[in-house]
Amino acid sequence: MPVYKLNINGKIRSVDVAADTPLLWVLRDHLQLPGTKFGCGIGQCGACTIHYDGVAVRSCVMPVSSVRDAKITTIEGLSENGDHPVQLAWDEVDVAQCGYCQAGQIMTAAALLKKTPKPTLEQVENAMHGNICRCGAYHRIREAVLEAAKKTKP
């Protein structure tokens, strides 16, 4: 098996895994970064969302061999102290119910705000559309993203 050198949360990490191993399992099982969640395994629910060079992507359908020199950010690397504007807004609005989908939701929202610091409600809805919340906290999720946008520097 090849050894892959990955830039995860600003640190170079080496893993010895099969080329087709999904990045999700590399993160969770080999690098002990359990914040990225397994949801559906087919890239449909968004629980496994990470940033790939700043873009929100599904790690469950990304083979480790495709990562190359990209900078990967997980929920653990979004903010050292949990004080990213999206994380603060999530707490302020009290978004989480069961919490399982929240890391993926937060990563998607953070990528949106990096690209579009002051999104419209429609832009928030479009960006967050692919993330599923079984608890149905969609209204609070939208509210938190818009609240975070107020705190995000353009």
What is the DSSP pairing of strand 71-73 with strand 55-58? unpaired
41: closest CA among 27, 59, 26?
59
Listed in sequence order, the DSSP H helices in 11-137 are 23-25, 75-78, 85-93, 102-115, 121-128
- Cα angle value 123/128/134 (rounded, 5°): 150
What is the helix (H) or strand (E) element at residue 55, kind and residue range? strand 55-58
Give the model confidence (pLDDT) of 121-138 as tens digits.
999 999 999 999 999 999
Report the distance separating Cα 137 and Cα 98, nearest Å: 10
Residue 96 has pLDDT above 90, yes or no: no
Give the model confidence (pLDDT) of 10-37 as tens digits.
999 999 999 999 999 999 999 999 999 9
Please tell me which residue, 151 or 72, carries the higher pLDDT value. 72
Tell me which amino acid residue 34 is: P
Its pTM stands at 0.95
The pLDDT mean for the chain works out to 95
Report the distance separating Cα 83 and Cα 123, nearest Å: 23
Residue 152 has pLDDT above 90, yes or no: no
- Residue 154: what pLDDT? 64
Report the DSSP beta bridge partners of residue 14. 5
- Cα angle value 111/133/20 (rounded, 5°): 65
Residue 2 — very low, low, confident or very high, per pLDDT cuts 50/70/90? confident
